[in-house]
Chain A
Amino acid sequence: MEVFLQQLINGITLGSIYGLIAIGYTMVFGIIGMVNFAHGDVFMLSAFVALITFLIITSALAALGIVASSVWIIIALLLCLVAAMVITSLWNWAIERIAYRPLRGSFRLAPLISAIGMSIFLSNFVQVTQGPRNKATPPMLTENITLINSPVYNVNLSYKQIAIVLVTVVLLAAFWYLVQKTPLGRAQRACEQDRKMAALLGVDVDRTISLTFVMGAALAAVAGTMYLLYYGVVSFSDGFTPGVKAFTAAVLGGIGSLPGAVLGGLLIGLIETFWSAYFTIDYKDVAAFSILVVVLIFMPQGILGKPEVEKV
């Protein structure tokens, strides 16, 4: 029971991060029908931006002779979050502008290949500029709340986990509002259904697509910052595995569906942590992907996906 509860907490935390990344995949797929393979690397990039911002802030504090108390750490983290969101959004905007938009209207595989190229470029760029080794943050927010104090197994809820889930929930709510209630979100949903028709009603489709990339990147940056906070290390190759997992989450939840992406993320996170806890940690990725295979056999459109409708 204690183990179960602890893994549930861990799984939800991990799943939140996957869900945030998965939204970027699912939105881009929904609107232009392309799998943005560079999205995982955009996530990795954002973790680096957050790390650099954090180190700048802490050294600035040290230079000013301020002792970094936990209040300062929280302020620093919020600043990291904002910096990561802004800079990563600009990156992703530029990527779309340079690597995808000129290929729109070309054959279907062209932007896909371009995305793979971008993914390789980004991870190599970070490797060259930041070095190939793991980069670590000083430990922060290390306090725990002990939920169950048992002689066998303590169930802990760390401040980090609370922060991660809290930030995720708040941003998802804001994001949901943006998509459902604002003109921009309406335009995005319209472009998703019929891009040409949206253009004929005066919607600037190119700009809407750009903004979709910006939004996806902002959420990936939240995930990147949370990832850095959770694990404390990041390396240039860290975009790949979480990226593939998040893509899996998007497919599992039904690609194109926003609630599906979050649900898929949570499921993948939970499957992974429970498998590691009860079976073997070596095969956790195999478990996550096997579930994907099984779900797709019985529900080819994913859990919340809409069945494919033939367009006339």
Chain B
Amino acid sequence: MSESMTPRWESDPILKVEHLTMRFGGLVAVNDLSFSAGRGDITALIGPNGAGKTTVFNCITGFYKPTEGRMALIHPRLDIDAEIEAATESGAPYIERPSVFLLERLPDFRVSAEAKVARTFQNIRLFQGMTVLENLLVAQHNALMKASGYSVRGILGFKSYGRAEVGAMEQAKYWLDKTGLTDRADDPAGDLPYGAQRRLEIARAMCTKPVLLCLDEPAAGLNPRESLELNTLLNGIREVEKTSILLIEHDMSVVMEISDHVVVLDYGTKISDGAPSFVKNDPHVIAAYLGVEDEEVDSAEAEVGL
């Protein structure tokens, strides 16, 4: 993307965060943060420890209700043919589908079920006691519940439910295959090695068919090979599934390599926002990461050879 063009996060955003503030008692974890994430982009949210990155995620995914601010999720333009088909199937003259979701107004389960935002956690939160496959099926709960008539039709063995279940299994198998977990499908999720658990968490999030996938430090604790596999997986998600990704990451090699857009936080405030090449050379960012005052940036830069 050339510098003269309007960047995608401004011309075609999927998420617009405006004036987001989150206070815990007297502590301001996020302070008047505004940024946008472009549709189809990988947007990285970076910053030193305690900068408020995870709090932003918690607000976006309905974990916290923000003290102030607006977070709008804009759904993608629709697949026209599929829409026409769906309208025909429905029997009604048209179908209504909301295109904008104000995330701060949605209760947590609807952020995933309706706005289609999925997330993973820094400390992995799988359903340890359930099998790998079941973890992926829980993520498709809504579609299945609807088809099963809230389990009544499922028990009675209705065809429509059978079809939905086959669909859910196929979706699960697709992601098992993508993440290389097919062999372990029937093992309890808690028995998987660490790297595999990370991949499973991403697969589970993808099974909710999100338009925006929020990943909280997906590369944490991975060895270089696993880190590389992760990059491939994320690039695949962007290219094939067309899912936009919002990413918190400490590993700068991951950030610089795969992200299209970087937002830098420090003490809950945005200090830089732009393409990776721009952010990398922003003195504020360097100051925040090296821990020096603004006036000393020049000398600090000279020391690290910039």
Are A178 and B123 interface neighbours, CB within 8 A? no
Are B141 and A186 interface neighbours, CB within 8 A? yes
Known contacts A197-B127, A200-B62: A182-B151 contact under CB 8 Å? yes
> How distant is the Cα of A114 from the Cα of B134 in the complex, in angstroms?
35
Taking CB atoms, residues of chain A closer than 8 Å to B123 are 312
Q: Which of A159-191 contact B (CB under 8 A)?
A: 174, 177-178, 182-187, 189-190
Mark each residue of chain B from 51 to 90: 1 if its CB lies under 8 Å from any CB of chain A, else 0.
0000000000111000000000000000000000000000
Are B130 and A184 interface neighbours, CB within 8 A? no
Q: Is there a chain A Cβ closer than 8 Å to B7's Cβ?
A: no
Are B63 and A183 interface neighbours, CB within 8 A? no
Taking CB atoms, residues of chain A closer than 8 Å to B226 are none
Q: Which of B139, B150, B151 contacts A202 (CB 8 A)?
A: B139
Taking CB atoms, residues of chain B closer than 8 Å to A201 are 112, 118, 138-139, 141, 204-205, 208
Are B141 and A183 interface neighbours, CB within 8 A? yes
> How distant is the Cα of A65 from the Cα of B119 in the complex, in angstroms?
66
Are A196 and B112 interface neighbours, CB within 8 A? no
Task: Taking A184-B150, A200-B118, A204-B113 as given, write out 5 further A-B residue pairs in contact, using a Cβ cutoff of 8 Å, ordered by the A residue number.
Answer: A182-B155, A190-B127, A190-B138, A201-B205, A203-B141
B162 to A: closest C-beta gap in Å:
12
> How distant is the Cα of A182 from the Cα of B154 in the complex, in angstroms?
7
How many residues from A make CB contacts under 8 Å with B? 26
Task: For A186, give the chain B residue with the smallest CB separation.
Answer: B138
Taking CB atoms, residues of chain A closer than 8 Å to B154 are 182-184
Are A194 and B125 interface neighbours, CB within 8 A? yes
* Interface secondary structure of A, over-half rule: helix
Taking CB atoms, residues of chain B closer than 8 Å to A183 are 137, 141, 144-145, 148, 151, 154
**CB<8 Å pairs between A and B, sample of 20:** A182-B151, A183-B145, A184-B148, A185-B151, A186-B141, A189-B130, A200-B61, A200-B62, A200-B63, A200-B108, A200-B111, A200-B112, A201-B141, A201-B208, A202-B109, A202-B110, A202-B112, A202-B142, A204-B113, A205-B109
Are B112 and A178 interface neighbours, CB within 8 A? no
* B binding-site residues for A, Cβ under 8 Å: 61-63, 108-113, 118-119, 121, 123, 125, 127-130, 134, 137-139, 141-142, 144-145, 148, 150-151, 154-155, 204-205, 208
Task: For B108, give the chain A residue with the smallest CB separation.
Answer: A199
Taking CB atoms, residues of chain A closer than 8 Å to B111 are 200
Q: Which of A198-217 contact B (CB under 8 A)?
A: 198-205, 211
B2 to A: closest C-beta gap in Å:
38
Taking CB atoms, residues of chain B closer than 8 Å to A182 are 148, 151, 154-155
Q: Is there a chain B Cβ closer than 8 Å to A193's Cβ?
A: yes
Task: For B138, give the chain A residue with the smallest CB separation.
Answer: A190
Are A199 and B109 interface neighbours, CB within 8 A? yes
Q: Which of A187, A193, A196 contacts B63 (CB 8 A)?
A: A196
Taking CB atoms, residues of chain B closer than 8 Å to A306 are 129
Taking CB atoms, residues of chain A closer than 8 Å to B151 are 178, 182-185
> How distant is the Cα of A186 from the Cα of B110 in the complex, in angstroms?
18
Taking CB atoms, residues of chain B closer than 8 Å to A184 are 145, 148, 150-151, 154
Taking CB atoms, residues of chain A closer than 8 Å to B208 are 201-202
Taking CB atoms, residues of chain A closer than 8 Å to B144 are 183
Mark each residue of chain A from 59 to 92: 1 if its CB lies under 8 Å from any CB of chain B, else 0.
0000000000000000000000000000000000
Task: For B140, give the chain A residue with the smallest CB separation.
Answer: A183
Are A189 and B109 interface neighbours, CB within 8 A? no
B71 to A: closest C-beta gap in Å:
15
> How distant is the Cα of A202 from the Cα of B137 in the complex, in angstroms?
12
Taking CB atoms, residues of chain A closer than 8 Å to B108 are 196, 199-200
